[in-house]
Amino acid sequence: MSNLATTLWNQGRWDEAEKLEVQVMETSKMKLGAGHPDTLRSMNNLASTYRNKGLWEEAERLEVQVMETSKIKLGADHPSTLTSMANLASTYWNQGRWEEAEMLEVQVLETRKTKLGADHPDTLTSMANLASIYWNQGRWEEAETLEVQVLETRKTKLGADYPSTLTSMANLASTYWNQGRWEEAETLEVQVLETRKTKLGADHPDTLTSMANLASTYKNQGRWEEAEMLEVQVLETRKTKLGADHPSTLTSMANLASTYWNQGRWEEAEMLEVQVLETRKTKLGADHPGTLTSMANLASTYWNQGRWEEAETLEVQVLETRKTKLGADHPSTLTSIANLASTYKNQGRWEEAEMLEVQVLETRKTKLGADHPSTLTSIANLASTYKNQGRWEEAEMLEVQVLETRKTKLGADHPDTLTSMANLASTYWNQGRWEEAEMLEVQVLETRKTKLGVDHPDTLTSMANLAFTWRRQGRHTEALVLMKDCTLARQRILGPEHPYTVSSVATIKKWS
């Protein structure tokens, strides 16, 4: 029965898996006793299913029970006890309780190092788990240090093409990705993808995951056609192998919708997002984390189409559900509040937007720290609201703070740092401080050309911004030439129907 439950679990049929796992657990309790290893194992299995259904409290309750029983029956440093602690840490991680998760992971890691050795597979797994927690806290350097250590050890002990080694390589690529080091991320991801194709086959789940990861990196480089080609391949294969309503298939569909979204293909994005949302509602329930993510994605598409009321309706629903299910200060809840604030801004409801943004900012400062990436995003959002209210000095003060922190934490040429620089230039621009705006815009443009390439969408945005500044400075001929270059590139890269392309064409007509 437990084997069948595992099969159902792997097919994403979690409701059916749960029914069997509850039955196995209750039978084990009755036949073997609550503290028997098989009973504890069945409780762990059920907790894992609860995690996949987003039922964090139920998972936590079982995991705490397993951990405490294992400590008493087996001892605090028994392998099974340590596994229980790691499982509980994972649940804390999903609830955004990173300090509690970190405390458990460090304890597991140190015990495994002592009992098993620094290069034992379980020790390396603990190290990778701790790196993941650092990753979510925006502590990229600490995450990278651990991930490199895990990768090198696994290469030595297991070989370069062993599954665990490839997972380590993918994890390190993800950290590079978040640091804006896309070329390094791409190099690793291509290596992982090619090895998995050779070792596992082109349609193995891990190969498809690698393909999706590489597509994500292409997206960040503005290489949407390449991203789309990979994502369509992943989607079609998952449909055939797993079924149209399997969780992984739905994730693929959402990824492809995101690519359409970035290309301004709102109708195609919307069609896919509605399909994902309706399927997740049916399969997972209306308040499952995956369903709420789908709802938020669809709201974002409405938002980009100027359908503010429809976006707001969905965002309020997501926010209220997340408050109830996850708590008011969970990272996902705070993201929902920020999304709703953004919609209010587009409706000109500045005071309501500001009130929400201040709430998100203060909570993130308290929970994550003043220099966490999400906190800095909140500060930038609030600065944007001040700008829209003409409160330039307050906006500038916040933007300088974000820029300086990002320079220190991420480096002067990180994509987020460059975005901060562009935001500050915009504030100078609105104050008529053309020279200061130009100085920053030239720096952003040149750095983006070097780091992202001359045809990257962000580079083209920088070109357009600089053209507008030159226009304001009376440098009409230079501005028109630059805007024409930008428009030609946008037509080639984004397509003639993309909103940015349409805007650029209209600007040229106005200036000519």
Residues 383 and 458 in one domain: no
> How far apart are alpha carbons 417 and 423 in whole angstroms?
10
Please report, for the domain that includes residue 187, its CATH number: 1.25.40.10
Q: Is residue 376 part of a domain?
A: yes
Residue ending a domain, choose from 210, 231, 263: 263
Residues 424 and 467 in one domain: no
**11 pLDDT exceeds 60?**
no
Q: Is residue 86 part of a domain?
A: no
**1 pLDDT exceeds 80?**
no
Give the mean model confidence (pLDDT) for residues 447-458: 87
The set of residues, in sequence order, having a beta carbon less than 8 Å from that of 24 and lying 6+ positions away, is 1, 2, 5, 42, 45
% residues pLDDT > 70 (the chain): 97
Q: Is residue 415 part of a domain?
A: yes
Q: Is residue 311 part of a domain?
A: no
Q: How confident is residue 476, by pLDDT bands cut at 50, 70 and 90?
A: very high
> CB burial class (10 A; 0-12, 13-18, 19+) of residue 75?
exposed
Residues 426 and 450 in one domain: no
Q: What local confidence, expressed as pLDDT, does residue 12 receive?
A: 60
How many C-beta atoms surround the C-beta of residue 384 within 10 A? 21
Q: What local confidence, expressed as pLDDT, does residue 10 receive?
A: 59
**418 pLDDT exceeds 90?**
yes
Residues 421 and 443 in one domain: no
The count of residues in the chain is 512
Q: Do 287 and 321 touch, CB atoms closer than 8 A?
A: yes
Over the chain, what is the mean pLDDT? 90
Residue ending a domain, choose from 230, 263, 296: 263
Tally the domains of the chain: 3
Residues 358 and 383 in one domain: yes
Residues 409 and 463 in one domain: no
Q: What local confidence, expressed as pLDDT, does residue 372 receive?
A: 85
Task: Render pLDDT for 235-283 as a digit per residue (tens, 0 to 9).
Answer: 999 999 999 998 899 999 999 999 998 888 889 999 999 999 999 999 8
- Crossing angle, helix 331-346 and helix 308-326, to 10 degrees? 160
**212 pLDDT exceeds 90?**
yes
Residues 370 and 418 in one domain: yes
Task: Render pLDDT for 345-388 as a digit per residue (tens, 0 to 9).
Answer: 988 999 999 999 999 999 999 988 898 888 999 999 999 999 99
Residue ending a domain, choose from 431, 456, 476: 431
- Direct distance between the N- and C-terminal alpha carbons of the chain, in angstroms, rounded to an integer: 74
How many C-beta atoms surround the C-beta of residue 225 within 10 A? 12
Give the mean model confidence (pLDDT) for residues 128-146: 89
Q: What local confidence, expressed as pLDDT, does residue 283 receive?
A: 86
Q: How confident is residue 494, by pLDDT bands cut at 50, 70 and 90?
A: confident
Task: Render pLDDT for 338-355 as a digit per residue (tens, 0 to 9).
Answer: 999 999 998 899 999 999
Residues 444 and 426 in one domain: no
Q: Is residue 297 part of a domain?
A: no
Q: Do 500 and 462 touch, CB atoms closer than 8 A?
A: no
Q: What local confidence, expressed as pLDDT, does residue 3 receive?
A: 58
Q: Is residue 357 part of a domain?
A: yes
Instruction: Please name which of 151, 149, 141 lies closest in space to residue 191, comparing C-alpha atoms.
Output: 151
**Lowest-confidence pick of 91-100, 200-209, 281-290:** 91-100
> How far apart are alpha carbons 87 and 82 in whole angstroms?
9
Give the mean model confidence (pLDDT) for residues 23-45: 84
Q: What local confidence, expressed as pLDDT, does residue 415 receive?
A: 85
**2 pLDDT exceeds 70?**
no
- Give DSSP secondary structure letters for 428-441: HHHTT-HHHHHHHH
Instruction: Please name which of 387, 390, 328, 394 lies closest in space to residue 363, comparing C-alpha atoms.
Output: 328
Q: Is residue 114 part of a domain?
A: no
**199 pLDDT exceeds 80?**
yes
**18 pLDDT exceeds 80?**
no
Give the distance, in angstroms, between the CA of residue 2 and the centroid of all CA atoms in the same chain. Answer: 33
160-197 CB burial, b ≥16 within 10 A, e <16? ebeebbbbbbbbbbbbbbbbbbbebbbebbebbbebbe
Residue with the larger pLDDT of the pair 445 and 66: 445
**413 pLDDT exceeds 90?**
no
Residues 217 and 233 in one domain: yes
Q: Is residue 228 part of a domain?
A: yes
Residues 468 and 504 in one domain: yes
**8 pLDDT exceeds 90?**
no
Range of the domain at 508: 439-512
State pTM to two decimals.
Answer: 0.81
